C-alpha cells in the first residue's frame, strides 16, 4: 500500500516533469495519460493545428504513403557558358575576361598538356618511375584556380597539376619532384605527381584518396577564425567521393559552417570503374543538399563556366561561412596513370570523341580565334616555345643528383630522435662496408 | 520465491529522475508487491559513466533489496589502489583535483594562453561524457569548444586540417575503443604529413585525447588499450599518464609538442585518482621514463593504471620475498626511453613488463626485444610479460583477464627462481 502511494506520488512528479518538458502546446493532458498507459485508450478527434515537434526535422505531416523517387533520368542541370564550338550561349554569362587573362588560361592549359606528354614519355623510357596525365581536365584546373585568391588554401587529390601551374609553380620544380632529385621541395620522399608548395598554398598531395576532404574542412574552420577572408578549395574525383572521408568532410563543413569549396572532377572513371558502378544516384552534386550544402553542376570542359561557378562560390563561401559543392563534369582522356592501359575497359572511339569534339583547350581556342586574339602563327610559335621550355627543364632535372641519403631519416618528427640517429649511423656503416651494392654516385654527398 | 530484479535504466541526463521513476512505476505494476523498496545506486568503482552508441549518456543501476537470503555477489572491487605522488612544490600553488579535473585544468590553461586553440569532438560542448571539458565552452566561446558530428575519421581529419592551417587542435575521441575509424587519418596522414611534404607542411599542432583502459565493467568496447597499434607508426607520439599531476603535465607537453600526439587517459582513474595538482601550466617531458622507486633485484615497467598495481607488487615482493624492485613509469610509449629501461635492467638483471592489452604484439614485446638486444648478458632470467590474454576484453570475466598483482607477484617469484 505504501509502495503504491509512493508510486502515485512519483507519477505525479513524473507528470510534472513531462509537462515541463513538452511545455508548449495544449496536448498536455493527453500526453501525460498516454505515456503511462493508465487511462484507457481515449480516441481524440484530429487536430489540424497539430504540427510535428520532432527536433530532427522541420517538415509537415503527410497522410499518404509515398516513397520519394530519386531522379537520375533528368538530374541536376549542367551550367555552361560556351557551346562545344567555343561560342558564348548567353552573353550575360560571359565573364568578359581580358585578352591577356584568356591568353594566359590558354597558355597554361597547353603548357600543362605539353609537360604531360613529355613526362608520360619519360616514364615509358624508364627515366621516371611513374606519371599521371591531366588530359581533358585542364579546364577544371585553370578555370577554378583563376577564380581563387592567390593565398586561398588548396587541397588536391592528384590530378590538379594545372592549379599549381596556374599559380606559378615552375617547370623545374614539377620535374624535380617527378625525378625526385635534390631540387625537389619534397626531398625525394614521394612518387611522382605528389606535388606541394607552401609558398603557393598548395598542400602536398598524398596517395590515400579523399583523406584531404575532412582536412580541408578543418583548415577552413581555422582560417575562418583567423578572419582574414581566406577560403579553402578541396579537389577530388567522383570515385574518391565514395570514401567515408568524403561523407565526413561534407557533413563537418556544413555543421561547422566552413568557408570551403568542394570541387569534384567527375571524369567518368575511377581507374577502370565507370560511374554507373561508382554510384547509383544523380552524381555527386545531388548529395550536397543532403548535407544542407549549396551545390551546382557545371560543364568542366568549359573554362568560363568553371571560372564563374568557382568565383561566385568563393565569394559566398567566405561572406556567408558555408561550404559550396561544385561538380565539374568532364572526361579523363588519358589512362589513369602509366600503370594503366585504358583500352582494356573502354573503346578508342569513346576517347577520340572527347579528344576531338569536346576538349577544354580547343573550345577556348575557338573563343580566342573568333575574337582574333589567336592565329595559326601564334599557335605554331607557342607550341615550339612551350616545348622548348619543357625540354630545358626536363634535361636539367635529368642531370641533377638525387638528394642526400641522410634525408631518409629527417622530418619523421620535428626533431631528430636518438633512435633514428642510431639507425642512420647504422645505415651508413653498412653502406660504407657494402658500397658497391648501393647507387651512391647518383646521390648528393 | 521472489526474484531479485536488477536492471539498467538508460536515459538522457536531463530527465533521468523522471524516467527512473517511470521505469520504477512500470516495474512495480508488473511485478506485484514482492519488492518493497527501490533504491538507485551508482555504479561501483568509478561512478556512473557514459555508454557510447546504444545506451545513451547515463547508466543507472537500480538494485532491489529483497527478503530472499540468496543475494547477488557484490560487484568486484577495483584491482588496485591509487597511490598519489608527493605534492609537487616547483610549479606554484596546487589544488585538489581528480584526473578529469586535471585534464580540464590543462585545457583551460591552453585556451587561455593560445588564441588559436580549439577543442572538439562528440559531446564536448556540454562538458564531455567524462566531464573533461566542463565549463570551457561558457568560458571561451562556442567557436572554440564545440561538438562535431559522430564520426571519428572526420574528427581526426578535421583536426589535422585545423593544425595544418596553424590552429592548436585538440580532438577528443570518446573512447579509445572507437579510434579505429580514424586509423587511416592518424597513420597515413597525421604521422606522415611532415615527412612526405619535405617539411613544407605538418600537423604538429594536433593532439588527440581518448579515454583508455579497463574500468571494471567496460567489456570489449569500453576497456581497450590500443597503444600498440600506434607504437608501430613513426611520426606520432603516444603518451599515457598514471595520475592527475602527470595527466596535466604530459597533456600540456603533448599540446606544446610540435608533433601530432595521442594522449590516452586511464578512465578508471578519472574520479578515483585525486592529487594536489598545480593550478598554473607546467610540463612533464615526453620520452623520459620516470623511475618511481629505486631497487636492485627486479625492474618493473608499466604505464597508466598498471603503475598502481605494480607499486603494490613491489611492496608485496619486498614484504614476502625480501626482493627490491625498481619501478619505472614509461609514460611515453612512442618514442620510448630505451636508455632508462636498459640502464635499470643492467643493474637488476631482471625485467617484468605489464599491461592490460593482449600480450601478443603488445608493447611489452617491443620493450622485451630491445632489452634482450642491448642487455642480453646482464639478464639473469627471461624477461617476463604479464599482460591481458589474447582475447577481446571480456565483461564478466574481467577479474580473470586483467594482469593483477597476484599474476605479477607470481612472475617475479619465477624470475627469482630461474
Nearest to B6 by CA among B29, B30, B35: B35
What is the least distance, in Å, from the CA of A254 to any CA of chain B?
10
d(CA B15, CA B9): 12
d(CA A59, CA A40): 31
Q: State whether residue B148 sits within 8 Å of chain A by CB.
A: yes
**For residue A72, what pLDDT is reported?**
82
Which of chain A's residues have a Cβ under 8 Å away from the Cβ of B33?
3
C-alpha cell at B135: 565549463
Which of chain A's residues have a Cβ under 8 Å away from the Cβ of B36?
3
Phi, psi values for residue A71, rounded to 5°: -100, 100
d(CA B284, CA A135): 54
Phi, psi values for residue A295, rounded to 5°: -140, 150
Query: Which stretches of A210-332 are DSSP H helices?
Result: 212-226, 244-255, 303-320
Nearest to B352 by CA among B290, B318, B307, B397: B307
Q: In what order do the strands lie in the sheet with B206-212?
A: B145-147, B118-121, B169-172, B206-212, B261-266, B237-239, B332-334
Stronger pLDDT, A396 or B17, i.e. the higher one? A396
Phi, psi values for residue B250, rounded to 5°: -75, -35
Phi, psi values for residue B121, rounded to 5°: 155, -170
What is the complex's ipTM, to 2 decimals? 0.90
Q: Contact B25/A208, CB-based, under 8 Å?
A: no
Asked if residues B352 and B411 have their Cβ atoms less than 8 Å apart, the reply is yes
Catalytic residue among B222, B227, B265, B308: B222
The answer to whether residue B257 scores a pLDDT higher than 50 is yes
Chain B residue whose CA is closest to A205: B197
Taking all residues of chain B, what is their mean pLDDT, rounded to a whole number?
A: 88
Q: State whether residue A280 sits within 8 Å of chain B by CB.
A: no
Asked if residues A218 and B116 have their Cβ atoms less than 8 Å apart, the reply is no
Q: State whether residue B22 sits within 8 Å of chain A by CB.
A: yes
pLDDT digits (tens, 9 = 90+) for A216-270: 999 999 999 999 999 999 999 999 999 999 999 999 999 999 999 999 999 999 9
Q: Among B16, B142, B152, B161, pick the best mutation site for testing chain A contact (most A Cβ within 10 A).
A: B161
Which of chain B's residues have a Cβ under 8 Å away from the Cβ of A196?
197-198, 200-201
Catalytic residue among A12, A35, A207, A381: A207
CB atoms within 10 A of CB B350: 24
The answer to whether residue B54 scores a pLDDT higher than 60 is no
Q: State whether residue A186 sits within 8 Å of chain B by CB.
A: yes
B222 part of the active site: yes
End-to-end Cα distance, chain B:
55
State how beta strands A78-79 and B325-329 pair: unpaired
In B117-270, the DSSP E strands lie at 118-121, 145-147, 169-172, 206-212, 237-239, 261-266
**For residue B77, what pLDDT is reported?**
81
Q: State whether residue B160 sits within 8 Å of chain A by CB.
A: yes
Q: State whether residue B235 sits within 8 Å of chain A by CB.
A: yes
Element (H, E) at A369: helix A360-370
What is the least distance, in Å, from the CA of B269 to any CA of chain A?
30
C-alpha cell at B16: 533521468
What is the least distance, in Å, from the CA of A197 to any CA of chain B?
7
Q: Could you identify the residue written with the cell 593544425?
A: B163
Kindly give the confidence (pLDDT) of every residue in chain A, 445 residues in length, as a single tens digit, with 9 standing for 90 and above: 544 444 444 444 444 444 444 444 444 444 444 444 444 445 556 676 889 999 999 999 999 999 999 988 899 999 999 999 999 999 999 999 999 999 999 999 999 999 999 999 999 999 999 999 999 999 999 999 999 999 999 999 999 999 999 999 999 999 999 999 999 999 999 999 999 999 999 999 999 999 999 999 999 999 999 999 999 999 999 999 999 999 999 999 999 999 999 999 999 999 999 999 999 999 999 999 999 999 999 999 999 999 999 999 999 999 999 999 999 999 999 999 999 999 999 999 999 999 999 999 999 999 999 999 999 999 999 999 999 999 999 999 999 999 999 999 999 999 999 999 999 999 999 999 999 999 999 999 9
Phi, psi values for residue B287, rounded to 5°: 60, 25
Query: Which contacts (CB < 8 Å, 24+ apart) does range A286-291 have?
Result: A286/A70, A286/A75, A286/A76, A287/A241, A287/A250, A287/A325, A288/A250, A288/A325, A291/A250, A291/A251, A291/A253, A291/A254
Q: Contact A412/B258, CB-based, under 8 Å?
A: no
d(CA B189, CA B169): 15
Q: State whether residue A36 sits within 8 Å of chain B by CB.
A: yes
**For residue B62, what pLDDT is reported?**
44
Which of chain A's residues have a Cβ under 8 Å away from the Cβ of B234?
412
CB atoms within 10 A of CB A53: 9
Element (H, E) at B290: strand B290-293
The DSSP output letter for B84 is: P
Chain A residue whose CA is closest to B29: A4
Phi, psi values for residue A156, rounded to 5°: -120, 180
Catalytic residue among A15, A93, A121, A257: A121
Which of chain B's residues have a Cβ under 8 Å away from the Cβ of A14?
18, 21-22, 25
**For residue A71, what pLDDT is reported?**
86
d(CA B406, CA B414): 12
Chain B residue whose CA is closest to A155: B161
A207 part of the active site: yes
pLDDT digits (tens, 9 = 90+) for A27-50: 444 444 444 444 444 555 667 688
SS3 B120: strand
Catalytic residue among A337, A342, A359, A386: A337
Average pLDDT, integer, range B226-254: 98
Element (H, E) at B135: none
Average pLDDT, integer, range B329-357: 98
B21, B161, B258 ranked by CB distance to A214: nearest: B161
Q: Which 299-358 residues of chain B touch chain A by CB within 8 A?
A: 335, 338-339
Catalytic residue among B50, B79, B122, B152: B152
Paired with B98 in beta bridges are B274
Paired with B171 in beta bridges are B120, B208
Contacts of A221 (CB under 8 A, 6+ apart): A256, A258, B118, B158, B161, B162, B167
Element (H, E) at A76: none
d(CA A220, CA A226): 10
Q: Contact A211/B197, CB-based, under 8 Å?
A: no
SS3 A263: strand
Q: Contact A413/B259, CB-based, under 8 Å?
A: yes
Q: Contact A256/B15, CB-based, under 8 Å?
A: no
Q: How many residue pairs bridge chain A and chain B with CB atoms within 8 Å of each other?
A: 187
B159, B198, B339 ranked by CB distance to A185: nearest: B198
Q: Contact A419/B164, CB-based, under 8 Å?
A: no
**For residue B68, what pLDDT is reported?**
52
d(CA A199, CA A197): 5
C-alpha cell at A46: 484530429
A187, A225, A244 ranked by CB distance to B198: nearest: A187
Biggest CA pair distance of chain B: 74
pLDDT digits (tens, 9 = 90+) for A337-381: 999 999 999 999 999 999 999 999 999 999 999 999 999 999 999
Amino acid at each position: 500500500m505504501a509502495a503504491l502511494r509512493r508510486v502515485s506520488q512519483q507519477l505525479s512528479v513524473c507528470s510534472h516533469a513531462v509537462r515541463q518538458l513538452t511545455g508548449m502546446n495544449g496536448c498536455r493532458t493527453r500526453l501525460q495519460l498516454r505515456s503511462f498507459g493508465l487511462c484507457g485508450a481515449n480516441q481524440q478527434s484530429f487536430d489540424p493545428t497539430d504540427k510535428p515537434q520532432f527536433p530532427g526535422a522541420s517538415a509537415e505531416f503527410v497522410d499518404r504513403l509515398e516513397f520519394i523517387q530519386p531522379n537520375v533520368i533528368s538530374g541536376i542541370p549542367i551550367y555552361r557558358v560556351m557551346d562545344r564550338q567555343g561560342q558564348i550561349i548567353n552573353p550575360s554569362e560571359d565573364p568578359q575576361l581580358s585578352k591577356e587573362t584568356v591568353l594566359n588560361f590558354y597558355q597554361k592549359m597547353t603548357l600543362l598538356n605539353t609537360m604531360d606528354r613529355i613526362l608520360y614519355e619519360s616514364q615509358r623510357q624508364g627515366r621516371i618511375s611513374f606519371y599521371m596525365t591531366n588530359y581533358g581536365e585542364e579546364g577544371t584546373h585553370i578555370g577554378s584556380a583563376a577564380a581563387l585568391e592567390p593565398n586561398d588554401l588548396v587541397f588536391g587529390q592528384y590530378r590538379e597539376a594545372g592549379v599549381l601551374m596556374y599559380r606559378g609553380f615552375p617547370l623545374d620544380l614539377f620535374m624535380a619532384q617527378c625525378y625526385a632529385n635534390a631540387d625537389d621541395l619534397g626531398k625525394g620522399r614521394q612518387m611522382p605527381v605528389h606535388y606541394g608548395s607552401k609558398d603557393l598554398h598548395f598542400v602536398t598531395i598524398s596517395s590515400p584518396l579523399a583523406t584531404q576532404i575532412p582536412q580541408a574542412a578543418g583548415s577552413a574552420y581555422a582560417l575562418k577564425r583567423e578572419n582574414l577572408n581566406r577560403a579553402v578549395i578541396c579537389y577530388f574525383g567522383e570515385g574518391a567521393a565514395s570514401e567515408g572521408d568524403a561523407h565526413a568532410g561534407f557533413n563537418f563543413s556544413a555543421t561547422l559552417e566552413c568557408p570551403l569549396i568542394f570541387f569534384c572532377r567527375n571524369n567518368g572513371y575511377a581507374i577502370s570503374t565507370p560511374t554507373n558502378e561508382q554510384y547509383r544516384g544523380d552524381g555527386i552534386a545531388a548529395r550536397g543538399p543532403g548535407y544542407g550544402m549549396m551545390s551546382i553542376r557545371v560543364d568542366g570542359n568549359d573554362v568560363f563556366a568553371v571560372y564563374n561557378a568557382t568565383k561566385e562560390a568563393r565569394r559566398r563561401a567566405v561572406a556567408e561561412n558555408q561550404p559550396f559543392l561544385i561538380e565539374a563534369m568532364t572526361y579523363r582522356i588519358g589512362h589513369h596513370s602509366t600503370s594503366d592501359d585504358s583500352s582494356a575497359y573502354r573503346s578508342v572511339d569513346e576517347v577520340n570523341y572527347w579528344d576531338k569534339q569536346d576538349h577544354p583547350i580547343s573550345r577556348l581556342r575557338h573563343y580566342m580565334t573568333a575574337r582574333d586574339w589567336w592565329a595559326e602563327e601564334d599557335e605554331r610559335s607557342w607550341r615550339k616555345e612551350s616545348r622548348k621550355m619543357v625540354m630545358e627543364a626536363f634535361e636539367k632535372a635529368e642531370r641533377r643528383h638525387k638528394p642526400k641519403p641522410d634525408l631518409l631519416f629527417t622530418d619523421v618528427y620535428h626533431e631528430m630522435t636518438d633512435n633514428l640517429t642510431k639507425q642512420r649511423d647504422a645505415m651508413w656503416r653498412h653502406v660504407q662496408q657494402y658500397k658497391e651494392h648501393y647507387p651512391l654516385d647518383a646521390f648528393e654527398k | 520465491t521472489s526474484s531479485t530484479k536488477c536492471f539498467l535504466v538508460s536515459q538522457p541526463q536531463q530527465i533521468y529522475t523522471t524516467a527512473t521513476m517511470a521505469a520504477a512505476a512500470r516495474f512495480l505494476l508488473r511485478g506485484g508487491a514482492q519488492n518493497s523498496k527501490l533504491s538507485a545506486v551508482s555504479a561501483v568503482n568509478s561512478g556512473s559513466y557514459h555508454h557510447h552508441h546504444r545506451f545513451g549518456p547515463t547508466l543507472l543501476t537500480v538494485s532491489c533489496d529483497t527478503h530472499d537470503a540468496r543475494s547477488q555477489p557484490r560487484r568486484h572491487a577495483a584491482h588496485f589502489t591509487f597511490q598519489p605522488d608527493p605534492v609537487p612544490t616547483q610549479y606554484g600553488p596546487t589544488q585538489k583535483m581528480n584526473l578529469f579535473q586535471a585534464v580540464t585544468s590543462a585545457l583551460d590553461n591552453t585556451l587561455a594562453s593560445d588564441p588559436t586553440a580549439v577543442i572538439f569532438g562528440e559531446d564536448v560542448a556540454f562538458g564531455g561524457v567524462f566531464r573533461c571539458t566542463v565549463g570551457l565552452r561558457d568560458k571561451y566561446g562556442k567557436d572554440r569548444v564545440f561538438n562535431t558530428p559522430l564520426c571519428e575519421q572526420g574528427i581526426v581529419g578535421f583536426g589535422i586540417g585545423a593544425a595544418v592551417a596553424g590552429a592548436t587542435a585538440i580532438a577528443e575521441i570518446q573512447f579509445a575503443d572507437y579510434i579505429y575509424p580514424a586509423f587511416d587519418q592518424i597513420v597515413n596522414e597525421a604521422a606522415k604529413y611532415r615527412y612526405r611534404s619535405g617539411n613544407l607542411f605538418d600537423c604538429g599542432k594536433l593532439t588527440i585525447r581518448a579515454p583508455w583502459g579497463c574500468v571494471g565493467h567496460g567489456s570489449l568496447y569500453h576497456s581497450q588499450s590500443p597503444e600498440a597499434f600506434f607504437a608501430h607508426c613513426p611520426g606520432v607520439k603516444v603518451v599515457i599518464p598514471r595520475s592527475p599531476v602527470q595527466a596535466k603535465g604530459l597533456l600540456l607537453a603533448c599540446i606544446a609538442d610540435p608533433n601530432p600526439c595521442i594522449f590516452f587517459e586511464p578512465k578508471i582513474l578519472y574520479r578515483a585518482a585525486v592529487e594536489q595538482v598545480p593550478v598554473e601550466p607546467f610540463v612533464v617531458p615526453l620520452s623520459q621514463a620516470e623511475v618511481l622507486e629505486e631497487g636492485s633485484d627486479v625492474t618493473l615497467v608499466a604505464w597508466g593504471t598498471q603503475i598502481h598495481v605494480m607499486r603494490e607488487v613491489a611492496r608485496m615482493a619486498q614484504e614476502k620475498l625480501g626482493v627490491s624492485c625498481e619501478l619505472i613509469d614509461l609514460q611515453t610509449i612512442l618514442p620510448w626511453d630505451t636508455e632508462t629501461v636498459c640502464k635499470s635492467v643492467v643493474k637488476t638483471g631482471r625485467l617484468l613488463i605489464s599491461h592490460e592489452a593482449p600480450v601478443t604484439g603488445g608493447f611489452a614485446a617491443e620493450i622485451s626485444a630491445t632489452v634482450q638486444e642491448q642487455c642480453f648478458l646482464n639478464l639473469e632470467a627471461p624477461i617476463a610479460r604479464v599482460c591481458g590474454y589474447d582475447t577481446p576484453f571480456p565483461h564478466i570475466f574481467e577479474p580473470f583477464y586483467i594482469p593483477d598483482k597476484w599474476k605479477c607477484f607470481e612472475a617475479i617469484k619465477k624470475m627469482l627462481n630461474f
